[in-house]
Amino acid sequence: MLVHAYGAHAADKPLESLQITRRTPGAHDVQIDIAFCGVCHSDLHQVRAEWEGTQFPCVPGHEIVGRVSAVGAHVSDFKIGDLVGVGCIVDSCKHCADCEAGFENYCDGMVGTYNAPTKDEPGWTLGGYSQKIVVHERFALRIRHAEDQLAAVAPLLCAGITTYSPLRHWEAGPGKKVGVVGIGGLGHMGIKLAHAMGAHVVAFTTSDSKREAAKALGADEVVVSRNPGEMAAHAQSFDFILNTVAAPHDLDAFLALLKRDGTMTLVGAPATPHPSPNVFNFITKRRSIAGSMIGGIPETQEMLDFCAEHGIVADIELIRADEINEAYERMLKGDVKYRFVIDTATLAA
Ligand code: NAP
Ligand code: ZN
């Protein structure tokens, strides 16, 4: 079936209206009428070919929420009309050790929601800046928030799980001092989630203008990372730092803030490498740097339920599809509080 979408025909071309094909739902598929789709910095990296291997046309979008509009014959957990979400994963091998453990995000056969190989036309996946999507039922998530919060739930599907998963894995909670670096789409969710988990949260920003806003999100303290004096006041004090910055930067400045055995986990995925950190910053305090990629399907459902229970949604700015190119420019300037979300009703206009 043909549906309206928004995407780009080349890395140096703006996104524009186009039509794409969605498959007829198979026995285990769920077809979703997309209501809203969040705008992740990864969408921009991919569509501008800042990461390798972008196929064109490229339709980004992996923060998808909407309603089930058809189900395959063998689908029992979802019915027409259910509120559901789809994040960064639309398929995986479903039988490797990672899939068995619910870590589809680490399966070698993971199929990303856009730009990943598929049998569907045109041979690679096309994302959520579109009217409909069809996915295997395993990759549909149940949304328990109130329907009027749906647009603000969309960013949980990537920004939410990408911060929730490492915060849980490195045990953010009462008695732990947790830093969140970069207050963008991911970072603002990291602050809300770490606060809800009971940690003492310190937000790090390069933007003086976000100082008060970060406190309103739940940060106990805010540090403007460009000020060495403010940074030094937190030396050797953190259990865990979640670094969401989308550009290469000096990691040593943050490593020095970790306690003995502290970890800094990188979730930002800049197009070019960070300068290598100083080995002495690891060995002198047995510190670690780690990475983390989104989260598996069971943990994504756990995160959605945690957010519904704690009244957590993203802070969003709703846009029309034809405002997406301008939104990308504003995202690059850090000028969004804190996530753009496309109203997909505007795709057909
Ligand atoms: P975003 O909304 O653009 O936020 C990134 C924030 O980083 C900015 O708001 C800014 O915060 C800070 N920043 C940007 N450039 C900087 C620079 N040159 N130096 C220092 N700080 C800078 O992006 P996002 O959607 O949150 O995504 C962040 C990164 O995570 C992207 O690279 C994205 O591709 C990646 N990502 C990874 C995963 C994963 O699974 N690991 C999932 C989703 C996204 P301040 O203004 O507060 O400094
Ligand atoms: Zn994302």
Q: Which residues contact 265 (CB under 8 A, 6 or more apart)?
A: 166, 170, 240, 241, 242, 243, 289, 290, 291, 292
Task: Looking at 210-335, list the stretches that DSSP marks H as alpha helix, in order from N- to C-terminal side.
Answer: 211-217, 228-232, 252-255, 280-283, 297-310, 324-332
Q: Which residues contact 156 (CB under 8 A, 6 or more apart)?
A: 63, 85, 189, 303, 304, 307, 312, 313, 314
Domain with CATH 3.90.180.10 in the chain: 2-158+314-346
Predicted TM-score (pTM) above 0.95: yes
Provide the CATH topology of domain 160-291.
Rossmann fold (3.40.50)
Q: Measured in angstroms, how far is the CA atom of residue 71 from the centroid of ligand 1?
A: 36
Looking at residue 219, what is its pLDDT? Answer: 98
DSSP assignment letter at 176? -
* Assigned CATH for 2-158+314-346: 3.90.180.10
- Rounded to whole angstroms, how far apart are CA atoms 321 and 9? 16
DSSP assignment letter at 60? -
Q: Is the CB of 162 under 6 A from ligand 1?
A: yes
Mutational pocket test of ligand 1: of 40, 204, 330, 338, the residue with most ligand atoms within 8 Å of the beta carbon: 40
The parts of the chain modelled with pLDDT lower than 70 are none
Task: Looking at 197-279, list the stretches that DSSP marks H as alpha helix, in order from N- to C-terminal side.
Answer: 211-217, 228-232, 252-255
Q: What average pLDDT does the structure give for the chain?
A: 97
- Rounded to 10°, the helix 297-310/185-196 angle is 70
Which residue type is seen at 18? L
Domain with CATH 3.40.50.720 in the chain: 160-291
Looking at residue 349, what is its pLDDT? Answer: 72
Which residue type is seen at 171? E
- Rounded to whole angstroms, how far apart are CA atoms 171 and 190? 13
Q: Is the CB of 185 under 6 A from ligand 1?
A: yes
